[in-house]
Amino acid sequence: MAKLAGPLEIYPLLPGTNCKVCGEANCMAFATKMAEYTVKLRDCTPLYEEEQYAKKRVKLEELIRPPVREVTFGTGEKAVSIGGKLVLYRHDLRYTNPTAFFIDISDALDADAFAKRVRDIEEWTYVYIGQNLRLDGIALRGVSKDPQTFAKAAKKLVELTDWPIMLCSLDPKMLSAAANAIADKKPLLYAATLDTWSEVGEIAAKHGLPLVAYVPGNLNDLASLANTLQAMGIHDIVLDPGTLSRSGLGTTIDCFTQLRRAATVKDNDVIGYPLLSTPISVWADYREGEAPELTKWDEVLTAASMIVRYSDIVVLHSLDMWTNLPLTFLRSNLYTDPVKPVAVEPGLVKFGDATSDSPVMYTTNFALTYFTVESDIKQGNVDTWLLVVDTEGMSVQSAVAGRKLTADKVAEAIQEYDVEEKVNHRILISPGMAARISGETEESSGWTVKVGPRDSSGIPKYLQEKKWQEE
Ligand code: SF4
């Protein structure tokens, strides 16, 4: 992979005052974290505030620049950043900036249908392991082929939503009209081609907007176009090498892989930009009157392949729960840090109006375990205390086997989170999977341990029937 800067290269370019403003003990500690990209250079504020460090800062920014540049568009809290990738393979470090999902909307819709689609896009959400899975932005397509209609729709869109917008048309006049109308919202312009680069490049440069370079199926020409746009002063570039589905999907995956490999492994600066795919293109073959399910399935399949193979932004048409749910799950799993367990904070959690007579259960702080247990307790609708033991993000069975969940740890958690002050009984409900440490837990904690269900789906019945109170 492209060589990422190490702490010894970073350290000499820091102020070296060990002032701790960044929250680290000294500059070396900051340099070590910077090399792992777990802190941001901006956290070292002296670098930005004191003129004497200006030259060092410029050198540092270049030294730590990711092989794939980061491009941000939209404004405010909803602005989306794509790219910024450091590695080809997730296990080499981790992936940053999850693939952004943009859903299309046509400028030819009537006012009611337009507003409804915006609402539907914004409201698509699903709670998964404590995360609120959502879509990221709206791709306005110039179906009308009329610049004024397109500009009007762009204006309407910014009235209706503060989400990031992509303006989609291959006609420079359309892009110019819409960019003039909403440039302050920093939309992503789609797209400059080999035929239109000069006109579209000027629009992007004039407004300081990020721009997609689109050359289907020819990576050399795409690289050349990116180079030309950069020479025009456009630095926020996104590459679209074209998206084919079905029999062409293999070719598309090859193109995306070559581009990402060249940027991250061969350090090819010319194409070190985020990649955009258009699974929406499957709808070009759809004929009115056909059942849409197969086309939706094609779109999901194409999008899933592109998310896995380096697409930093996907443009989609389908807005069903069943189409976007697997894609958002896939994204969520791909973009978790492989070396960092998905964990929640340990502690004592109160469900409902738990009182001193309410049952006390315990579980581990592995996020999937915690949220499953949380959901089952809520389903049981019984006021309950849940003690979340720190097992470094391991599930119950693995934590018991790996000695991350021990009787002493449970006893310590009871003390640390003041459980004895919250309840007037001393009965602890253990996960069924931790049954084998229940005897030791009684000895360590002085509590009576009742073994709960092996599968957390049994929790509602267990609590409702007050089984923990049985002899
Ligand atoms: S803020 Fe900068 S100068 Fe101060 S300790 Fe951190 S890295 Fe060093």
Q: What is the model's pLDDT at position 268? A: 83
The CATH number of domain 70-334 is 3.20.20.20: yes
Q: Per-residue pLDDT averaged across 324-342, rounded?
A: 90
How far is the centre of ligand 1, averaged over its atoms, from the C-alpha of 17 (Å)?
6
* Residue 471 clears pLDDT 80, i.e. is over it: no
Residue 1: band (very low, low, confident or very high) from pLDDT cuts 50, 70, 90: low
Q: Give CB contacts under 8 A, 24+ apart, made by 178-181.
A: 178/140, 178/142, 178/147, 178/150, 178/151, 178/153, 178/154, 179/203, 179/204, 179/207, 179/209, 180/151, 180/207, 181/151, 181/152, 181/154, 181/155
pLDDT of the residue at 130: 77
C-alpha 218 – ligand 1 centre gap (Å): 46
Higher pLDDT, 419 or 338: 419
pLDDT surpasses 90 at 266: no
Average pLDDT, integer, range 287-306:
94
Q: Where are the domains of the chain?
A: 7-63, 70-334, 347-469
pLDDT digits (tens, 9 = 90+) for 273-285: 999 999 999 999 8
pLDDT band at 2 (very low <50, low <70, confident <90, very high): low
CATH topology of domain 7-63: 3-methyladenine DNA Glycosylase II; Chain A, domain 3 (1.10.15)
CA-nearest residue, atom 4 of ligand 1: 19
pLDDT > 80? residue 202: yes
Atom 6 in ligand 1: residue holding the nearest Cα: 22
pLDDT over 80 (residue 232): yes
* pLDDT value for 270: 85
Q: Using N-to-C axis directions, what is the helix angle for 147-160 and 172-182, rounded to 10°? A: 30
- SS3 assignment, position 344: coil
Token pair recorded at residue 466: 């007050």
- The CATH class given to the 347-469 domain equals alpha beta
Q: Which two tokens stand for residue 275?
A: 């990649």
Percent of the chain with pLDDT over 70: 99
Residue 128 is predicted with a pLDDT of 83
Residue 217 corresponds to which amino acid? G
- The larger pLDDT score, comparing residue 298 to residue 3, is at 298
Supply the pTM of this predicted model. 0.82
Cβ of residue 42 lying under 6 Å from some atom of ligand 1: no
Residue 94's contacts (CB-CB under 8 Å, 6 or more residues apart) are 86, 87, 337, 338, 339, 340
Q: How many CB atoms lie within 10 A of CB 436?
A: 11
Q: Which two tokens stand for residue 98?
A: 């999850």
- Distance in Å, CA 18 to ligand 1 centroid: 5
Whether 13 is in the pocket of ligand 1, judged by its Cβ within 6 Å, is no
Of 267, 280, 274, 269, give the one whose Cα is nearest residue 213. 274
Ligand 1 in reach of 34 Cβ (< 6 A): no
Closest residue by CA, ligand 1 atom 7:
27
> Could you report the per-residue pLDDT of 405-428, keeping only the tens digit for each?
999 999 999 999 999 999 999 999
Q: What is the pLDDT of residues 91-139, one digit of tens each?
A: 888 899 999 999 999 999 999 999 999 999 999 999 887 789 999 999 9
Give the span between the Cα atoms of 50 and 436, in whole angstroms. Answer: 60
Contact (CB, 8 A) for 289 and 297: no
Query: Phi and psi (nearest 5°) for 451?
Result: -85, 120
Instruction: Choose the residue to mutate in 20, 28, 39, 49 for probing ligand 1, maximizing ligand atoms within 8 Å of C-beta.
Output: 20
CA 29 to ligand 1: nearest atom: 7
Which atom belonging to ligand 1 lies closest to the Cα atom of 15?
3
Question: What's the pLDDT at 262?
Answer: 94
pLDDT for 348 beyond 60: yes
Cα 152 to ligand 1 centre (Å)? 49
